[in-house]
Amino acid sequence: MPVLHNLVSNEELRARMLAETEPRTTVSFYKYFHIADPKAFRDALYRTFTALKVFGRVYVAHEGINAQISVPASRYEEMKAQLYAFDPALDNLRMNVALDDDGKSFWVLRLKVRDRIVADGIADETFDASQVGTYLQAAEVNALLDDPNAVFVDMRNHYEYEVGHFDKAMEIPADTFRDQLPMAVEMLQEHKDKKIVMYCTGGIRCEKASAWMLHNGFDDVAHIEGGIIEYARRAREQGLPVRFKGKNFVFDERMGERISDDVLAHCHQCGTPCDTHVNCKNDGCHLLFIQCPSCAEKFQHCCSPICMEELALPPEEQRARRAGRENGNKIFNKSRGLLNVTMAIPAPEEK
């Protein structure tokens, strides 16, 4: 039986990726469908993707698959063909090809079995995730943006919304998708007579959210097919105005795709206009936050003086300080200051 996980260190794998000369294509896809044996599905797909030199992050569950990957450009069509043939449910699966891609988005393949492909916290056994809202194409999205009877709802987290969104889109102020779902139902009660338009990065969250809204008594619910990525691509191809402003946050090394020149966010340290997400350089923190070049130099790529101080310590003392440290939310939140959230460990919620 071949080894079905990585044996090489992250540092070496990253160095190998950066040394590659052939360009790579970054692509995301998902599909809600029943997988009887996720472990067997995962192992077979791991062999297929490894042979094609695919890197990325893939989640498999009984409810389907969710993937963000990169593949050598010369093997992209081969990858699609093999994926389409892998399971009948994946035939002609929509691929969301990255808009702003340097091919350096991933350097390792991580393929995991999970309870859900998107953590939603839903315990209602009567909920059917396949009963989704209406799919919207780019031209329909633009028309509805000018419709006073349509309410656009951003089903992403604050740090995603902060750097880019549609004008007047409603933000659901929660740190996780599982917390957003019940909050969205509550916040939208006063808009039940309007058309609810949900959107997210690539479609996976807003598609499930549309099903949840229908399940909770909303009648007129739609979502943008393929999310922001597909909307921007199709609008450009069709010569339509791209109405999304700013950056589309993505969950890989790039941390964002530039959609428009608008800079909507501000540096979390000095307040200057900026929409560049970084992780704190201190290994005991790695907080995700927005930092301008000036503050990056001033704080030595750290989020706070506390992290600067810890980063300057000998490695042994840094490790001693980190030992037993309580983990927390590792993402800067508008309701908390940098010093209050630093020293927290978990990575950004992966979608």
DSSP class of 303 = S
Separation CA 30–CA 59 (nearest Å):
9
Per the CB < 8 A criterion, the answer to whether 96 and 29 are in contact is yes
* The dihedral formed by the CA atoms of 237, 243, 246 and 247, expressed in degrees to the nearest 10: -50
> What would you report as the CA-atom Rg of the chain, rounded to the nearest whole angstrom?
21
Token representation of residue 288:
């995700």
Q: Letter for the amino acid at 97?
A: V
Beta carbons within 10 angstroms of residue 178's beta carbon: 15
Helix (H, G, I), strand (E, B) or coil at 11: helix
Query: Is 307 among the catalytic positions?
Result: no
Give Cα separations from 126 to 96, 155, 200, 213, 216 (angstroms): 30, 22, 25, 14, 11
Separation CA 228–CA 159 (nearest Å):
15
Per the CB < 8 A criterion, the answer to whether 63 and 113 are in contact is no
Separation CA 136–CA 142 (nearest Å):
10
Per the CB < 8 A criterion, the answer to whether 45 and 140 are in contact is no
Q: Which residues on neighbouring strands pair with residue 288, listed in sequence order? A: 279, 331
Residues with Cβ within 8 Å of 329's Cβ and at least 6 positions away in sequence, in order, are: 175, 341, 344, 346
Residues that are catalytic: 200
